[in-house]
């Protein structure tokens, strides 16, 4: 059974190595230098630390990992690994490394680099936000607790083999090895950088950082020695930072910029969309995102399930979608449609003011009540919060909108009894990897319902938690479909308790110049946003 899995994955590698299948309709061309803009500066390119959507794509391209995804899809394939096997009990993963892969400093990548890199990501001294992903590896607690610096569950019998031993079966483990935090880095370069590795990255990915002028630009040059032939396609990409999205768009229209990474400001969206070249410039795609309102189950009257259900019926999600100029679709369950386990037949709570009022009356709040709705203070989130406020008013709930800086909202959410309702816009969940389990633990599970946690509904259902653990233990790939179904049910069952109002699945919009080629799904890649490895220039 696992041999067949191995055969399958090896075949998948062959597919991935061939010219990218997603772009079969249009053969990618080699060469060209492009300019990409972002509003925010790049904080760090250290894969153990970087965790925002802008640096995420760049880190993906600078380093390689044992596993990766086929461009534009959520399909896992071996990358730095040539092949792998999984033991029958799902606790031992053995990887054979691809031979002859070199870091950009010229040294060959060996098994001990993999061990070092993951231990570094887990080590509390690194202060990396990705440590928790490796929780299933044996010895994890010893490292996070400061008792050890090495993970007992990673062994390197020879330079070309890495063996992981898990303390519990974890069906998401292969995804974890494809996440940025599992990027392989050379120890000597990390140490030589003296804590500044994030500014002096050395990896074995598709690109090499050639120049970084702080606050201005970063120049990434094609790694000519990359282990997959003809990947990447562009010779270089320059990232100009500190660019106001509106200005970036004007520059794009003038041909000075190739990709406006922040997309199109809402005020300009329709104008661009309706312009002659608009449709060719806009890439508008689904991402693994859900925007939701948390209803704090530990705050009155949201401790009453009928009240939570009533609020679910009171929100006009179409209007929120309109505020975003249609760049979203109304949601009815926590999982986004692209995620395995999403239940197309589930309708959830439909918008019904009369029914909401009746439910509130049943719960003893015929005259409504007063509450507070938190939101971040950057456009368009306060406007969406106001729309929600109006919807609530229509059923008699008077909500005061408290629009604060993101850090303050996160803090209020993580403090028990503090925030009755939070509109998650701007900080909502975008999946780290395309697996339904990633939408549960921290935001809906009991483990997240702690001080400083991200389960801002403070919802804890022991029964669902047990089902979640059971689902994640199904690491046998043959049980994949069963596992996905189990997860899907967890998310639809949760809605009976209604700890959230799932509001929208936001789409991402990227603006690109007319000379750029490549399918839409490499500009809004489900696992890396812009896939710099797969985009190309039409000469």
Contact residues toward another protein (CB under 8 A) are 39-41, 43-44, 46, 49, 51, 124-125, 127, 129-133, 135, 144-146, 195-196, 198-199, 213-216, 240-244, 246-247, 250-251, 254, 256, 405-408, 410-412, 414-415, 429, 432, 441-443, 447, 450-454
For another protein, give the closer residue by CB, 177 or 395. Answer: 177
CB of 51 to another protein, least distance (A): 5
Q: How near is the Cβ of 161 to another protein at its closest, in Å?
A: 29
DSSP 8-state code for residue 48? T
CB of 240 to another protein, least distance (A): 7
Cβ proximity to another protein: between 80 and 410 the closer is 410
Contacts 24+ apart (CB under 8 A), 469-473: 471/171, 471/437, 472/169, 472/170, 472/171, 472/172, 472/437, 473/90, 473/168, 473/169, 473/170, 473/171
Spatial separation of the C-alpha atoms in residues 317 and 319, rounded to whole Å: 5
- Name which of 405 and 481 has its Cβ closer to another protein: 405
421-423 vs 369-376, strand pairing mode: parallel
Nearer to another protein, 407 or 470 (CB): 407
CB of 250 to another protein, least distance (A): 5
DSSP symbols for 96-154: EEPTT-B-TTSPBP-HHHHHHHHHHHH-GGGT-TTGGGGTTBTTHHHHHTTS-SS-TTE
**DSSP 8-state symbol, 76:** E
What is the C-alpha separation between 447 and 454, in angstroms, rounded? 9
Question: Which CB, 231 or 249, lies closer to another protein?
Answer: 249
Q: How far is the CB of 299 from another protein (least distance, A)?
A: 17
Closer residue to another protein in complex, CB, 241/307: 241
Shortest Cβ distance from residue 406 to another protein (Å)?
7
CB-CB neighbours of 162 under 10 Å = 28
DSSP string, 1-33: -HHHHHHHHHHHHHHHHSSPGGGTTSPPPP--E
Distant-in-sequence, close-in-space partners of 389: CB < 8 Å, separation ≥ 6: 373, 399, 401
| Residue 60 beta carbon to another protein: minimum distance, rounded to whole angstroms | 17
Secondary structure of 275-306 in the HEC alphabet? CCCHHHHEEEEECCEEEEEEECCCCCCCCCHH
- Smallest separation, CB 166 to another protein (Å): 17
DSSP state of 493: H
Q: Which two tokens stand for residue 364?
A: 């003893």
Residue 244 Cβ, how far from another protein at the closest point, in Å? Answer: 5
Asked whether 413 and 425 are in contact (CB, 8 A), the reply is: no
What angle, 0 to 180 degrees and rounded to 10, lies between the N-to-C axes of helices 305-314 and 353-362? Answer: 160
Nearer to another protein, 49 or 503 (CB): 49
Name which of 70 and 240 has its Cβ closer to another protein: 240
Between 124 and 157, CB nearer to another protein: 124
């Amino acid at each position: 059974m696992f041999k067949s899995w191995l055969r399958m994955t090896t075949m998948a590698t062959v597919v991935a190595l061939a010219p990218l299948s997603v772009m079969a309709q249009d053969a990618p061309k080699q060469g060209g230098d492009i300019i990409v803009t972002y509003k925010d500066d790049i904080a760090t390119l250290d894969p153990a630390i970087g965790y925002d959507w802008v640096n995420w794509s760049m880190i993906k391209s600078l380093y390689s990992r044992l596993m990766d995804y086929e461009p534009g899809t959520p399909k896992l394939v071996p990358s730095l690994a040539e092949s792998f096997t999984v033991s029958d009990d799902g606790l031992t993963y053995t990887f054979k490394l691809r031979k002859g892969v070199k870091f950009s400093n010229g040294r060959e990548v060996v098994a001990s680099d993999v061990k070092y890199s993951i231990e570094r990501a887990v080590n509390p001294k690194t202060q990396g936000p990705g440590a928790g992903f490796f929780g299933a590896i044996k010895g994890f607690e010893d490292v996070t607790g400061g008792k050890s610096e090495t993970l007992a569950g990673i062994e390197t019998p020879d330079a070309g083999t890495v063996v992981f031993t898990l303390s519990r079966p974890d069906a998401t483990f292969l995804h974890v090895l494809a996440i940025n935090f599992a990027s392989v880095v050379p120890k000597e370069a990390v140490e030589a950088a003296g804590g500044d590795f994030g500014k002096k990255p050395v990896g074995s990915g598709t690109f090499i950082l050639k120049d970084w002028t702080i606050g201005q630009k970063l120049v990434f040059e094609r790694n000519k020695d990359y282990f997959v032939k003809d990947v990447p396609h562009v010779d270089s990409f320059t990232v100009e930072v500190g660019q106001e999205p509106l200005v970036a768009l004007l520059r794009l229209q003038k041909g000075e910029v190739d990709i406006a990474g922040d997309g199109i400001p809402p005020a300009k969206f329709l104008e661009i969309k309706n312009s002659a070249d608009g449709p060719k410039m806009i890439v508008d795609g689904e991402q693994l995102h859900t925007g939701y309102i948390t209803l704090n189950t530990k705050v009155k009257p949201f401790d009453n399930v009928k009240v939570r259900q009533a609020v679910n019926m009171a929100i006009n999600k179409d209007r929120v979608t309109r505020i975003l100029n249609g760049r979203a679709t109304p949601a009815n369950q926590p999982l986004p449609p692209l995620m395995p386990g999403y239940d197309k037949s589930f309708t959830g709570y439909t918008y019904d003011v009369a029914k909401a009022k009746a439910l509130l009356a049943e719960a003893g709040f015929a005259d409504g009540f007063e509450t507070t709705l938190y939101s971040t203070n950057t456009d368009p989130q306060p406007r969406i919060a106001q729309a929600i406020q109006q919807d609530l008013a229509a059923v008699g709930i008077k909500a005061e909108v408290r629009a604060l800086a993101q850090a303050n909202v996160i803090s209020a959410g993580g403090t028990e009894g503090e925030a009755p309702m939070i509109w998650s816009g701007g900080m909502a969940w975008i999946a780290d990897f395309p697996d339904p389990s990633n939408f549960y633990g921290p935001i809906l599970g009991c483990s997240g319902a702690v001080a400083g946690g991200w389960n801002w509904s403070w919802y804890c259902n022991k029964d669902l938690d047990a089902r979640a653990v059971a689902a994640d233990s199904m690491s046998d790939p043959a049980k994949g479909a069963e596992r996905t179904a189990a997860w899907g049910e967890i998310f639809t069952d949760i809605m009976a308790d209604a700890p959230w109002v799932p509001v929208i699945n936001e789409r991402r919009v990227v603006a690109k110049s007319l000379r750029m080629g490549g399918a839409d799904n490499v500009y809004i890649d489900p696992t890396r946003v812009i896939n710099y490895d797969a985009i190309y220039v039409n000469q």
